[in-house]
Amino acid sequence: MQRQEQKQVQQQQMTQDLVQRLPVLEADRLALTFRLARLARHNENIHLGSGDLGWVVDAASAFEESLFIQIHEGSGSESEKELRRQLVLLLDHRGLLPDTDEVLAKRLGVDPMRIEQARRALLFLEPTGIGARTERECQYRHAIEQEDPRVVDVFDAIESGMGHEMIVEALAISEEELTRLERIIATLPKRPLLYEETGNVFPEVEVRLENGKLATTWLSPQLDESRVGDDREAKWWMTSLSMRNETLREIWSVIEARQTEWLEGELVLNPLTRRTVAHLIRKHESTVGRAIQGKFASTESGIMEWRHFFVRSTSHGHSPFMIKRKLAELIQREAAPRSDRALALELARYGYQVTRRTVTNYREELGFGNSREREHQLWKG
């Protein structure tokens, strides 16, 4: 009986440990490097061995210093400010604090009530959303800062489970106005702005065709193993990064085998689903989904997001991604803007049989306006 209880405790600990490592798997290269650069400022055993981005070190330093200055200039006793600084050091790669107050209290050896108070204080710092528990809570903090107070009202109504008609009636607004406010809420940042957006993409892997063969170079962050030693935190990160990179390599091996033509420079994508990859690498489909988000690859055909390698065939054997690519080309080359129906007919000339409604959906996903909006843009120059 005792052995069975010990086994159950071990399983719970393993499950909790895997949950704590999931954010590492989900993080993109830039966010992960930023987090490691922050950790390296306070732990000499954590040092990037490869996958580093030089400017990130300075950005990480400036980010923390800004928060520490705000804490120093804020109200509260010195012990309260010190607890806030400790929480800053525990922010994850998104700038959030997903752990419960109880978990944080146990880790820092304080009462959960003090954690709650310190967390609340962080929420008033810049950038907006720092210390939020979830991405949704971060969005709420951004909603509060909107000039239109109805954004928060609609946000609260949605969170309470109110339906569309109920919100219209309760807030005395029109259907059109509610739709506008919902769009604002949908675009609210889910994460604090930790550093200035560069507009650049940082690939996880680079694939080039050399002498007729594909050459793969991995750019994923790794720790310098010689610096880790017996440091518990450094060892945890080294293991987490190793597990992350192993999973990404397993997934990529399937992508590379299935999408060889694209990687060799041909505009051909073959059907591939997350379920197929999960089955081949013996992992859960949700794990594959978490792993590929925000990951990019540099290929002969340009930089491409991993998720675009996962395509389902249409009834005519073409992936939605390829149809969108051709649609974007048609719109970008047009001398006079065409209607969605005309674009559907033009796609058919290239063998892509899609409905007008599908063209409308794909066009909007690509960020192009309708023919009238595009014509107006042409007149503006």
Which value, to the nearest 10 degrees, does the dihedral of the CA atoms of residues 18, 103, 233, 126 take? Answer: 110
Q: Which pLDDT does position 72 carry in this prediction?
A: 95
Q: Which residues of the chain have pLDDT under 50?
A: 1, 6-14, 315-316
Q: Which pLDDT does position 12 carry in this prediction?
A: 46
Q: Which pLDDT does position 219 carry in this prediction?
A: 92
Hey, what domains does the chain have and what are their CATH numbers? 135-186 (no CATH), 205-309 (no CATH), 320-380 (1.10.10.60)
Q: Which pLDDT does position 125 carry in this prediction?
A: 94
Query: CB–CB of 127/70 below 8 Å?
Result: no
Count of other CB atoms within 10 angstroms of residue 231: 15
Burial of 181 (0-12, 13-18, 19+ CB in 10 A): buried
Could you report the per-residue pLDDT of 281-305, keeping only the tens digit for each? Answer: 999 999 999 999 999 999 887 788 8
φ/ψ (deg, to 5) at 165: -65, -40
Q: What is the pTM of this model?
A: 0.73
